Amino acid sequence: MITIIPAIDIIDGKCVRLSRGEFNTKKIYDQNPLDVAKRFQDIGIQRLHLVDLDGARMKKVVNWGVLERIASKTELVIDFGGGVQTDEDLRIAFESGAAMVTAGSIAVKEPQTVRRWLEQFGSEKIILGADVKDRKIAIHGWQEESDRELFHFLEEYTEQGITQTICTDVSRDGMLSGPAFELYREIKSEFPELHLVASGGIAQIDDIHRLNDDGIDAVIIGKAIYENRIQLAELKGFLC
């Protein structure tokens, strides 16, 4: 069964959503991310995807206090991303309560650092962030596009020991246009052992059913929840 992972994206300590990662599209949904996290936990959700958008833009962890509050006041297993660029950022994230950290931009800019983190913390603690624009990896809050092709990027890191990745189709993120089904099927076919988390574009409960039927391991849901396209009660059928 596919794992449901709701997303909380943070700017200025508030729960927000963007469209295609563009900061000028910011919409605030809740002033208190902890309240949002508790609502997720109350229906039986166990995982949370927490993104420090200020951190992604400033290239350092900023909203660690939000992470600390959610981690200390819920039992959610939190994967944290956004601005994790140094050993100090990683230390802050783990000490603030992250169970896992997503290595995105740094996996492009400093692969040797990510390899060292994998050796030090293990593949169960380090998730590869593969944010994609036209099959090229996007970095720094999607404000820059690298020259790294997605499948070469995944191949390189699976050879280095990565076992889980969050793949976001930037063009679909926050657009409620449906996820990149074909892309995820292709990734799963090429890398069947890779724990694949689909992200971006989820618009309705049928999208999750289709991803589940395709054998995708997990899905991140954001705006569809906040815009009431998917009711939390609808997700209960996917929760063990």
Q: Name the nearest CA neighbour of 141 among 9, 47, 5.
A: 9
Rounded to whole angstroms, what are the CA distances from 129 to 12, 18, 72, 156?
Answer: 23, 18, 25, 13
Q: Which of 131, 169, 173, 207 is catalytic?
A: 131
* Phi, psi angles (nearest 5°) of residue 142: 70, 15
Q: Could you tell me if 174 and 19 are in contact, meaning their C-beta atoms sit under 8 angstroms apart? A: yes
Q: Could you tell me if 73 and 97 are in contact, meaning their C-beta atoms sit under 8 angstroms apart? A: no
Q: Is 131 noted as a catalytic residue in this protein?
A: yes
* Phi, psi angles (nearest 5°) of residue 126: -115, 120
- Give me the active site residues, please: 9, 131
